[in-house]
Structure 1
Amino acid sequence: MTGLPRPLTASTTRRSLIGLGAAGAGALALAACGGPSVGGGSGGSDGGSAAEETDFSSVEPATEIAFWTSHPGGSKDVEAELIKKFTEETGITVKHVTAGSNYEEIAQRFQTAQAAKDDLPAVVVLSDVWWFRYFLEGNIAALDPMIEKIGIDIADYRDSLVADYQYDDKQWALPYGRSTPLFYYNKDHFAAAGLPDRAPKTWQEFEEWAPKLTQGDVAYMYPDLAGYAGWTLQNVLWGQGTAWSDDWTLTVSDPKTIEAMTWVQDTVHSAGWAQVASSDSADTFAAGVCSTTIASTGSLVGVLEAASFDVGVGFLPAGPVDGPVCPTGGAGLGVPSAITPEQQLAGAMLIEFMGRPESTVAFSGATGYMPIRKSADVSALLEKTPQIQTAIDQLEVTRTQDYARVFLPGADQEMATAVGSILTEEGDVEKAMTDLQTKLQDIYTKQVEPKLS
């Protein structure tokens, strides 16, 4: 097995994680994750962790800032309402900018804007697979001194969600449109097949159920590969005792990974009970084309509104080795490093406002993304959308994602291409995984390793 070099020692600063209390096995695995320390100056190309932090004790916030967002989960209207309330409270005017239609587009715009530092926002939406590269490049500021100045209660954020943005003993973003994958099932199809009204506890159990689901075109629909292959398949890999990587050591071509991906291929081609969605699988599911799928919690409200049948949701199925286990996902809010301290402080104030318990309940109610604060009163939210409770409960078995997916630039698309060759072309699994490992190794060697100290 070819692995990424391990330049780290026991003295390396590791990701600071908040105590997880009574969280389950997935959270224990989260607590074991760590990362490299990164050197360099703020706004430069050598990483941001060593940047000299601003003393915000005497800084006054800017009166006008911009917020760059892709409106995750169709949240434009609720964002606008929250921004209006923020301005009424603080007097700070916020330019609400649609900086892209998805996470990739907003990330590309933010990357391009680094050259024109007078055109940067004070707050930007950063997805799970993009924020780390901006940390490496020194493009985002550590929020810690701003958090201290404003008095943000980090301990009240849900542990596994806030920990996703902790690195090098600092906080680089705060949760916003946070999600996990959910297992969606058509209750009408399950009833017609004589199946219990619940999600399968394991993939092996679902293998027994799938042939009975004949009401739709297919029993199970894999999410479209471009956005979800690397993310959702972590559940399958982890459940079979493997992963995309073990910290910085790639395990893509490990025999266990090849075995797990062979099982995935068999569900489509040998067993025939699964297919791959050509577009958003949540839309496909809501149309009744398939009986089950895995999709983001951020799709929940839209699915419930669009479906003409009773929708059930459950935890992701466990595997033969581990589970239930589920990856975290979604996006957070960060502050650029190259803007003025006054803009940064105003941006942090907006982040604090968007993350308040009452704000996150409003955001969740409009989108389906989960409430990010422990103290949020979700009673009215659950009365309207009780399925959100499943997403909240599943946080107990979440773990942070594999480094190979979220910390290697472009790795997610390479994973999608490899999985596509396996599922849509019925290509050789071992070759696809070996080739993928080589490509990811090259990304690490050329783009990441030089920035790690």
Structure 2
Amino acid sequence: MTTTRTTALRAGMSRRALLAASGGVLAGLSGLAAGCGSRAFVQATGAVPARYARRTHIVFWHSFASIVGDAMQKLVDEFNDIQDEIYVDAQFQGSYDQTAQKLAAGVIARQVPDISIFSEITWRKFHLADALEPLNDYFDADLAPTAYLDQFISEGTVKGTIWWMPFARSTPLFYYNKEIFAKAGLPDRGPRTWTELREWGPAIQGVRTASGPAKVHALTSGDADWFFQAKVWQWGGNYSKGLEVTIDTERPIAAGEWMIDFIRKVKMAYLSASSNIDFANGVAATTEMSTGGLRNATEQAKFPVGAAFLPAFEHFGCPTGGSGFGIMATSTPARKRAAFEFVKFVATPQKSAQWSIATGYLPIIKAAQQEPALLAATKENPNFAVAVRQLERTRVQDLARLVVPNANVTMYTALQRLYSSRDSVPDVFATLARKLRSSADLMREKYDRHYT
């Protein structure tokens, strides 16, 4: 869940077309990662500066751009400068989904990096394809699994084996324009419930901005399914129970119909092509964005930014998200060990805190939360503490979104259609459920083999 996840695609290919292609490539992964066949895997290409020529060369693919990308490169540069044995070659590959698509193509072409960033969705596809290295044996006295927040290290663990290491972990947050709230006579806090935000709507709409009356709430398009996961829980439903799809049942439909009334009936919410830009420009008074967008939102906005827990409805609901490291099974033993040395470096409390301060991502190392620099940053901008406080109330997303092939693009495409048309919620969710069930049935046996 980063700003790069919704970055405009290169080469004129639409995001939807790219992800469809990605699904096809990912489907062809199984068996290739284990090294079958006569042609060996080689390292993805990358230039090595002369001063690093005698080191072990590690190719690292990532998905961070803009402010977050600068923070990532700073960590890489610091690692390269504090030791003389390893050179990490950081290469930006686009959004999480673009990176996964390129990595899948690289596995099939047998040319891959040594370590890559994977989202909470994409790592599972590569794990199911046997393309990831098991990591338990790489931990030592300098870094133990217990250093990480329990819920994050457990998300990358399957049957006692760690496959995915936490790094840029996030949750959705509710963002609000403090200036508009003050002019509307509202309290300086986020709404405790969606009903309360709807009650505040007329006051917000009464505030004039440079672009006209303030809009109440901008709905994001690119990760609509991640944010709607929270709403489904808030209304007492689920996307799925295990792999049994339930998006077309009573409670998810009720959540969808409430949001459609918010858009169509009272006209307080709208589907934005870029909710973060609309919010930063003062067009929309509120929106939902990732914790990982906090630094970017704060610096882009020309007004004081407020951050709060997600609103509740009958229940509170908030999913975890974001990304972490996976080491490729096809790398050489020496490069795998070297790649893990970089993981250990960014997992020190000081560097974990540095990453959180620079980006807004959660401090995933327990001791990082007590680092003086992070404590000082939180005191200066209390928004940095909101996601940490909300974390204890979050949970892992429903299984269908995480493991069903192309579930996220199928889901957010359906939600985009719903938010921008006159289609009914039962019809849209019924079609969505049929597609998800069909895909779930195709991969059920493989999932059971790996996870149960």
Fold agreement, TM-score > 0.5: yes
Distance apart, 1:356 and its partner CA: 1.6
Task: Choose the corresponding residue for 1:219, options 216, 221, 240.
Answer: 216
Who is 2:414 aligned against?
Answer: 418
Secondary structure of the corresponding residue to residue 278 of structure 1: coil
Give the number of the structure whose residues are more often helix, by fraction. Answer: 2
Q: How far is the alpha carbon of 1:128 from its aligned partner?
A: 1.3
Query: What value does the CA root-mean-square deviation take over the aligned residues?
Result: 2.0
Contact 2:132 2:326 (8 Å CA) reproduced: yes
**1:384 shift after superposition:** 4.2
Mapped contact 1:160–1:395 kept (Cα < 8 A):
no
Q: Secondary structure at the match of 1:338?
A: coil
When structure 1 is superposed on structure 2, of 228-237 and 73-82 the one drifting more is: 73-82
Change (3 A) 1:98 1:440: same
Shift of 1:451: 4.7
1:234, distance to aligned residue in structure 2 (A): 1.3
Q: Which runs of 4+ in 1 moved over 3 A?
A: 447-451
Which residue does the alignment assign to 1:239?
A: 234
1:182-204 superposed Cα distances (whole Å, 9 cap, x missing partner): 10011111112111111111112
Partner of 1:115: 108
Alpha carbons of structure 1 residues 45 and 435: separation in structure 2 relative to 1, 3 Å: farther
Amino acid at match of 1:411: A
Question: Unpaired runs of 5+ in structure 2?
Answer: 1-29, 37-54, 208-212
Say if 1:389 and 1:71 are closer, same or farther in 2 by CA, change over 3 A: same
Contact 1:63 1:91 (8 Å CA) reproduced: no
CA contact (8 A) 1:45 1:138 kept: no
Q: Given that residues 199 and 313 in structure 1 are in contact (C-alpha distance below 8 angstroms), is that contact kept between their aligned partners in structure 2? A: yes
Aligned to 2:363: 371
Counterpart in the other structure of 1:104? 97
**What is the 5 A alignment of 1:293-304?**
293-304=287-298
Q: State which drifts further: 389-398 or 357-366.
A: 357-366
> What is the deviation of 1:73?
6.2
Shift of 1:75: 2.7
> 2:166 is matched with which residue: 175, 182, 185?
175
Match of 2:67 among 74, 92, 99: 74
The partner residue of 1:257 within 243, 252, 261 is 252
Q: 1:125 to 1:371 in 2, by over 3 A?
A: same
2:15 corresponding residue in structure 1: none
Residue aligned with 2:366, SS: coil
Alignment match, 2:334: 342
Does the 8 A contact of 1:130 with 1:409 survive in 2? no
Task: Indicate the residue corresponding to 2:10 in structure 1.
Answer: none
Whether contact under 8 Å (1:65, 1:122) holds in the other structure is yes
Question: 2:198 matched to 1:203?
Answer: no
| Aligned partner letter, 2:160 | D
2:238–2:252 Cα contact (<8 Å) kept: yes
Any conservation in 2 of the 1:43–1:137 contact (CA below 8 Å)? yes
Residues 375-428 of structure 1: per-residue CA shift (max 9 Å, x gap): 011213324433110011111111001111111121111111211221101212
Note if contact 2:174-2:190 (Cα within 8 Å) is conserved in structure 1. Answer: yes
Q: Which residue of 2 aligns with 1:359?
A: 351
1:93 Cα deviation from its structure 2 partner: 3.2
- Superposition pairs of residues 135-174 of structure 1, within 5 angstroms: 135-147=127-139, 149=140, 151-174=142-165
Distance in 2, Cα, partners of 1:357 & 1:212? 44
Kindly state the Cα deviation for residue 448 of structure 1 after the two structures are TM-superposed.
4.3
Q: Which runs of 5+ in 1 are unaligned?
A: 1-39, 47-61
Shift of residue 347 of structure 1?
Answer: 1.0
AA in 1 matched with 2:155: D
Q: Is the 8 A contact 1:73 1:367 kept in 2?
A: no
SS at match of 2:33: coil
Q: Structure 2: how far apart are the matches of 1:243 and 1:221?
A: 23
For the residues of structure 1 that align with 2:313 and 2:87, how far apart are their CA atoms?
Answer: 46
- Find out whether 1:452 has 2:448 as its counterpart: yes
Is the Cα–Cα contact under 8 Å of residues 42 and 338 in structure 1 kept in the other structure?
A: no
Post-superposition Cα deviations, 1:296-329, rounded to whole Å, max 9, x if no partner, equal: 1111111111111111110001111x11x21111
- Determine if the alignment matches structure 1 residue 327 to structure 2 residue 319: yes
Identity fraction in percent: 31
Task: Quote the Cα distance in structure 1 between the aligned partners of 2:231 and 2:85.
Answer: 46
State how far apart, in whole Å, the 2-side matches of 1:385 and 1:139 are: 41
CA distance in 2, matches of 1:448, 1:100: 30
1:75 to 1:113, Cα distance in 2 relative to 1, 3 A: same
Change in Cα spacing, 1:45 to 1:192, as seen in structure 2 (3 Å) is farther
Shift of 1:41: 7.1
Paired position in structure 2 for 1:54:
none
Q: Report what 1:43 is aligned to.
A: 33
- After TM superposition, the structure 1 stretch with the greater mean CA deviation from structure 2, 80-89 or 125-134, is 80-89
1:247 to partner: Cα distance: 1.9
SS in 1 for 2:166: strand
Q: Are 1:394 and 2:390 an aligned pair?
A: yes
Please state how far the C-alpha of 1:139 moved relative to its aligned partner: 0.7
